[in-house]
């Protein structure tokens, strides 16, 4: 586990194929946002790109990246499965 790993991974469900992808850290989230995201616009999407890039550079916390990724998914209508963080 590196310092950018998330305590709880997120399962991203592709609406077209039904395939489930596991996103377990900030690098994977940033890669998905850049290369496999269904939209390339929106406030939450742009914020998630910035936050994930910042965390990858050592600025910010992995939980911030995770939360921004979840917000971008909500904005884009991307289905997620994730454990509840308490």
pTM for the complete prediction? Answer: 0.91
Buried b (16+ CB within 10 A) or exposed e, 7-17: eebbebeeeee
Is residue 73 situated within a structural domain?
yes
Nearest residue to 78 (alpha-carbon basis) of 47, 43, 35, 33 = 33
Is residue 86 situated within a structural domain?
no
Is residue 33 situated within a structural domain?
yes
What's the mean pLDDT in 67-72? 98
Is residue 85 situated within a structural domain?
no
pLDDT of residue 73 exceeding 90, the answer is yes
pLDDT of residue 25 exceeding 90, the answer is yes
CB-CB contact of 36 with 57 (8 Å): no
Sign of the C-alpha dihedral, residues 27, 30, 35, 38?
positive
Number of domains in the chain: 1
**Residues spanned by the domain of 31:** 3-79
Is residue 84 situated within a structural domain?
no
Assign 4 a pLDDT band (cuts: 50, 70, 90): confident
Is residue 7 situated within a structural domain?
yes
Is residue 13 situated within a structural domain?
yes
DSSP, collapsed to helix, strand or coil, labels residue 68 as helix
């Amino acid at each position: 586990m590196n310092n950018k790993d998330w305590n709880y991974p997120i399962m991203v469900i592709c609406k077209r194929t039904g395939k489930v992808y596991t996103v377990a850290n900030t690098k994977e989230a940033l890669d998905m946002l850049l290369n496999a995201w269904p939209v390339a616009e929106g406030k939450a999407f742009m914020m998630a790109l910035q936050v994930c890039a910042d965390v990858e550079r050592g600025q910010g916390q992995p939980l911030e990246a995770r939360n921004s990724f979840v917000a971008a998914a909500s904005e884009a209508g991307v289905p997620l499965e994730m454990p509840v963080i308490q």
